Structure 1
Amino acid sequence: MRLSFFFVTAACGLALAVPATDRRDASIVSGRAFYAELVNNTCVLAPEVPMANYVSNPPMRTDVSDNQPGVPFLVDIGIVNTATCQALSNVMVEIWSTNAAGQFSSTSLRGATMTNSNGIAEFKTIFPGFTSDSANHLSFLVRSSSSRSSPVIHQGRLFFTDPWTDMIAKSANYTQNTNSRITNDEDPNFAKANENGFNSIINIVSIGDDWADPQGIIGDITVGVNP
C-alpha cells in the first residue's frame, strides 16, 4: 500500500533534537513545514565516506519519492560551516537511496536542492530498504554553491538505528527485501562515519500511534563541513 506524506509544523526556535522515542499524532499534522532552525547546533566536522551508486546530475527537486511504495520519510539535513559554526546557506545537497526492496534505481529516489537561509535542505523520500553490502543508510553529498559544477565539499552516509531498520523491515512492501541484513556494528563505513565525535545517525520521529506500521517518519540531522 502506498502511503501519503504527512508533515508536522515544528515550533520556532527549537534548540534540541527530538528524541528517537518521540512520536506525533497524525491529527495534528497540517501543511508543509520543516524545522524553522537547525535542530542540532553541532559544530563537529563529519567524516567522509566513499560514494557508491552515485548518478551525476540528479533532478533539482525536494520530492524524490517518485510514488515509490514504502514508509514516507521527510528528512531535514542541516549543513554547518565548521570554520565559523554558522549555518551554510545556498549550497547544493544531493541525496540518493534504495527502494523498499533494497534496490537502487538510476532515476528514482534521487534529487538535489539548495539549503535555505537557515542551512536546511529538506527532502521527501521513503525510508530506504537495507542492502546486502552495507548498513542501512541515506547517501548524500554537498557542493560549495548552488551550481552543479561547483566542487563537492563533503560526501558521506547518514545512518539509522538498527531497531528502526528492523521494525520497518516488517512493514508492507519491505518484506519483499531478500538482501542479507548488515547491522551498523558490522559495517566499517558506519564506524568511519562516526569518527571524531560526529554522530551520523538521523534523529527520527514517528507519525501516528502504530509503531509496527508508522504512517510516516520525520528525520533530522546536522552535518558539519569544511567549505
Structure 2
Amino acid sequence: MFCSRFFHLLALLPLVLAHKEPKTDQEIETQRALQRAAYYCAPAVADFTAARKRKWAQKVLNVNPGLPGYDDLFADANYIDAGESTELMECSPVSRKTAIQNNTCVLTPVVTEGPYYHTEGHPIRTNIAEYQFGLLTYLDIGVIDVNTCKPLPNVLVDIWQANATGHYAGHPFPKPELKDEKPQVGGKRSGLLSAFPRTEFDETWLRGAFPTDENGVVQFTTIFPGYYTGRATHVHVKIFKSWEPLPNGTFSSPEGSLAHVGQFFFEDELNLQIDKMWPYHTNPIKDTHGRTRNWRDSLNIFEDSHSPEGQYNPVFKMELLGPVITQGLAGFITMGINASASYDNWWKG
C-alpha cells in the first residue's frame, strides 16, 4: 500500500537540522519521499482547501457582502465537517484529476526557520496583530499528514512575520557596529544583512500559535507582512505535535515535538500593489535596496519550497474581504507535513 511504503521511507531519516540542505543519499531520498507522498495526497488536499473556500464564500460573500466580522468569517459552520471530509482524506487514489497547484503547500523540513524565532514567549492566540498598522489579513491554514492524507486536528500551528516596514518584534535595530552594513552582493545570500539582535524582550506583535480544530484547520487575524532586504514577503510557520500551555498565555514544547518548519509566500503582483499602501510605502528601503521578488529570494527559500521538481505551491490563495483591497484579504492554504517527523527547536544560524 502506498501509505505504508512512504511511511517506511519517511521513518528512515535521522534527526537532521531543520534548515540544512539534504546531502546524503538517505536525506535526499527522504525529502523526495515526503514530496511524493504529499503529491499523492494532492487531490484530497485540493478538495480540502476548496471546500473551506467554498463554505467561506457562500457565508461571507453571498450572505454578507460587506466587511465581515471575525466571528462571521471563521464560524465553525463555514468549514467542511469531519463526516463530509472522511472519504476525501482516505489515503487511496482519487480518480478525479486535481492539480497540486490548488494551494497545496508542501514545505519540506530543509526550509530555514530564520534567525527571528523566539523559542519562548509566543502567545497562544489567533489574533496576532496587536497594535501594528497594516492591511487586515485573515490566514486560513489547513494541515494534513502525508502519511495518511488526513487532516491533523490539535496540532499547534506557530507563526511569526515581519510588520509593514519589514521588522520583527523584538529586533528593531542592527548591532551598532553594523548600522552601515551593506547587503550581501551575489551568491546564495545575495541581498541579506546580518540578523538584527533581540533587544526588546517584551514585544510579541505578529507572533502567535493556536491548535488546529477537529478538521485540521486554524485561522489567524494579522496584517499583510512587509519586506526587508534579500527576502521575498513571507510568513514563517512551525508545527508542534505536543505542547503545554503556560500560566502567562504562552506555551512550551517537549523535546521531539517539532514536526515541521516552513514558510508561506504571496503572489508578487499582490505584493507590488500593497507596496503602494500606507504604511507599506514608508518602508525605509523602498527607494534604496527595494523589495526582493519571489524568484530572487535569498537562500533559494522560495524555490526550495516548490521542491526539486517544482511540483508544489507555497503561495497563499488570496480573496478580497470587500469590494476594494483596502478592506482586507483572506488567504487560504493547505500544508502537508510528515507527522511522524521530529526536529530540534532552535536556530543554528
Normalising by structure 2, we get a TM-score of 0.55
Q: For residues 143 and 235 of structure 2, what CA distance do their matches in structure 1 show?
A: 15
Secondary structure (helix, strand or coil) at the match of 2:66 reads helix
Instruction: Return 5+ residue gaps in structure 1 as ranges.
Output: 1-12
Equivalence for 1:15: 51
Task: State the shift of 1:172 in Å.
Answer: 1.3
Q: For residues 170 and 28 of structure 1, what CA distance do their matches in structure 2 show?
A: 22
Letter of the structure 1 residue corresponding to residue 276 of structure 2: K
Q: For residues 198 and 209 of structure 1, what CA distance do their matches in structure 2 show?
A: 30
Equivalent residues in 2 for 1:53-202, closer than 5 Å: 53-57=116-120, 58-106=122-170, 107-147=204-244, 148-150=252-254, 151-179=257-285, 180-187=290-297, 188-195=300-307, 196=309, 197-202=311-316
Letter of the structure 2 residue corresponding to residue 141 of structure 1: K
> What percent of counterpart residues are identical?
30
Q: For residues 52 and 155 of structure 2, what CA distance do their matches in structure 1 show?
A: 24
Task: State the shift of 1:75 in Å.
Answer: 0.4
Equivalence for 2:107: 46
Contact 1:47 1:198 in 2 (8 A): no
Secondary structure (helix, strand or coil) at the match of 2:278 reads coil
Q: For residues 114 and 31 of structure 1, what CA distance do their matches in structure 2 show?
A: 17
Equivalence for 1:37: 80
RMSD of aligned C-alpha atoms?
Answer: 2.7
Contact 1:45 1:82 in 2 (8 A): no
Letter of the structure 2 residue corresponding to residue 47 of structure 1: T
Q: For residues 134 and 31 of structure 1, what CA distance do their matches in structure 2 show?
A: 30
Task: State the shift of 1:14 in Å.
Answer: 5.1
> Could you tell me which of 188, 211, 222 is aligned with 2:334?
222
Contact 1:79 1:223 in 2 (8 A): yes
Letter of the structure 1 residue corresponding to residue 338 of structure 2: N
Secondary structure (helix, strand or coil) at the match of 2:271 reads helix
Task: State the shift of 1:145 in Å.
Answer: 2.4
C-alpha deviations, 1:93-129, integer Å up to 9, x for none?
1000011111111321000100000101111110001
Contact 2:107 2:263 in 1 (8 A): no
C-alpha distance 67-86 of structure 1, shift in aligned 2 (>3 A): same
Deviating beyond 4 angstroms after TM superposition, the runs of 4 or more aligned structure 1 residues are 23-26, 38-45
Secondary structure (helix, strand or coil) at the match of 1:15 reads helix
Contact 2:106 2:337 in 1 (8 A): yes
Letter of the structure 2 residue corresponding to residue 27 of structure 1: G
Contact 2:106 2:314 in 1 (8 A): no
Equivalence for 2:15: none
Letter of the structure 2 residue corresponding to residue 224 of structure 1: G
* Structure having the larger proportion of residues in helix: 2
Aligned length: 210
Normalising by structure 1, we get a TM-score of 0.83
Larger radius of gyration: 2
C-alpha deviations, 1:38-87, integer Å up to 9, x for none?
99986774323111111123011111000211001110111100000000
Contact 1:93 1:112 in 2 (8 A): yes
Contact 2:131 2:205 in 1 (8 A): no
C-alpha deviations, 1:171-207, integer Å up to 9, x for none?
1111111232100100110000111522100010012
Contact 2:106 2:313 in 1 (8 A): no
